[in-house]
Amino acid sequence: MPDQKNLELGIIGLGKMGGNIALQALDKKIRVAGKAICKRPDLEEKGVKVFTEYESFISYLKKNPKLIYLSLPAGRTIDKVLEELLPFLQGGDVIMDGGNSFYLDSIEREKRIWNKNGIYFLDCGTSGGLDGARNGACFMVGGREEGIKIAEPVLKSLAVNKDGYMHTGHPGSGHYVKLVHNGIEFGMLQAIGEGVELLYKGGNGFNLDLAKIFKNWSNGSVIRGWLVELMEKGLVRRNFDDVQSYIEDTGEVNWLIQDALNKEIPIPVISQSVMELFKSRNKVSETYKAIALMRHGFGGHPFGKDEYIAKERQTSRINKI
């Protein structure tokens, strides 16, 4: 782990992910300031310095160049915040977009901000869910080498371990790698969900204990992993029959499928997983209940319909494929 002495980070957006990253930064002795629309007493009482306007937020950060992490919804929100933020920054400062922005949007933003302002813009794919944000995340980051060098000490400190951070390459590559990651995630969720339905309905009247099975699979089986562990925990904590099978998502994997179609790259498993997600909105199924349970476990995603997420699904990509 790098030396945390004098490390400093500004975070814009103190929701579930940004707030947890701020708390982790405090734990790692990183001086942190947060910018939010309104005060956050829940974070402030834990030591996070929260500002509601940009001038005092940036003034609180004493180290130069400034390092700013955006934890915001993809789409026009990013551009609006950049427009408001950039007048307070100087050439050589670094902005990291830690959300799930479309990689072509990130390429366009990086080019515009660098050419006009001389400010580094890094596309910082961030994975690990709420637990990762709080205790150690996985970062896959694209951008210019000089900007990466400035951001690396903080990102390495906030990563789960030394291999939980990587510079993926050119601008846009971090968000592209994260997009592919999310596609793989969808395929894995679908496979596990179908397995749950087989255990629930199949067999020969075995009346299987699903939670114990997933606990067993978490210990030495070929399919062991965090999603299997989350399935076991979800089954223990909730009555599975009461879980809603309607799955909302913000639509990133749709972009991946469209991109693959244009480049004639076959991705049948990922494509079918998205079709199944669409079907979850019209059909009740144990498969979809299982996926909803796992998604809630790693990302705090809601059960059932959510108008805000449904709207974000339509607005989070700017550039067309």
Domain CATH for 234: 1.10.1040.10
Q: Which residues contact 23 (CB under 8 A, 6 or more apart)?
A: 43, 46, 48, 134
Asked if 166 and 214 sit in the same domain, the reply is no
Residue 267's pLDDT band, with cuts at 50, 70 and 90, is very high
Q: Are 134 and 15 in contact (CB under 8 A)?
A: no
Asked if 119 and 24 sit in the same domain, the reply is yes
Name the amino acid, one letter, at 116: K
55 is catalytic: no
Find the helix packing angle between 173-201 and 210-217, rounded to 10°.
Answer: 130
Q: Which of 35, 66, 178, 289 is catalytic?
A: 178
Supply the mean pLDDT for the chain. 95
pLDDT (average), residues 290-302:
93
Residue 319's pLDDT band, with cuts at 50, 70 and 90, is confident
Residue 3 lies in a domain: no
- Domain span including residue 84: 8-170
Residue 197 lies in a domain: yes
Residue 321 lies in a domain: no
The answer on pLDDT for 315 being more than 90 is no
Match 């790698």 to its residue by tokens: 177
More confident residue, 250 or 34: 34
Supply the pTM of this predicted model. Answer: 0.93
Asked if 216 and 283 sit in the same domain, the reply is yes
Match 């108008």 to its residue by tokens: 307
Residue 185 lies in a domain: yes
Q: Which of 35, 66, 110, 185 is catalytic?
A: 185
Asked if 209 and 293 sit in the same domain, the reply is yes
Using CA atoms, how far apart are residues 132 and 127, in angstroms rounded to an integer? 7
Residue 213 lies in a domain: yes
Question: Total domain count for the chain?
Answer: 2
The answer on pLDDT for 3 being more than 80 is no
pLDDT (average), residues 130-145:
97
Q: Tens of pLDDT along 204-237?
A: 889 999 999 999 999 999 999 999 999 999 999 9
Residue 311's pLDDT band, with cuts at 50, 70 and 90, is confident
Asked if 16 and 124 sit in the same domain, the reply is yes
The answer on pLDDT for 297 being more than 80 is yes
Q: Is 224 helix (H, G, I), strand (E, B) or coil?
A: coil
Asked if 16 and 157 sit in the same domain, the reply is yes
Asked whether the CA dihedral 139, 134, 222, 295 is positive or negative, the reply is negative
- The pairing of strands 138-142 and 120-127 is antiparallel
Asked if 95 and 188 sit in the same domain, the reply is no
178 is catalytic: yes
